[in-house]
Amino acid sequence: MESKKNDKTFEEHLKNAKDVVGKLESGDCTLDDMLNLYQDAIESLRICNEKLASFEEKVKLIRKDNEKLNYDDLEWRLEYM
């Protein structure tokens, strides 16, 4: 079941957490249901956090690789193509 949760996108996990908040705020759940929903939302948010951290690392690597480019030279070349 853990791998199924990880197959979801960041947006799907975020939506799940938001949906849980709505259900909890409605008050239409039993205490046991509320606890299960809360645990599910926390897990979704944990996965969102992991995905964001991974994304940030990838952006850092891309930016580091692009620091080697000379943008002024590239812009000049594109103008004359």
* pLDDT top residue among 54 and 61: 54
* Confidence check: pLDDT of 37 > 70: yes
CATH number of 2-79: 1.10.287
* Confidence check: pLDDT of 79 > 80: no
Q: What is the pLDDT of residue 65?
A: 77
| Amino acid letter for position 23 | K
* Confidence check: pLDDT of 77 > 60: no
Q: What is the 3-state secondary structure (H, E, C) of 16-33?
A: HHHHHHHHHHHCCCCHHH
Both tokens of 19, joined, read: 């949906």
Q: Crossing angle of helices 31-66/10-26, nearest 10°?
A: 150
Q: What is the pLDDT of residue 22?
A: 95
Domain positions in the chain are: 2-79
Cα–Cα distance, 20 to 30 (Å, whole number): 13
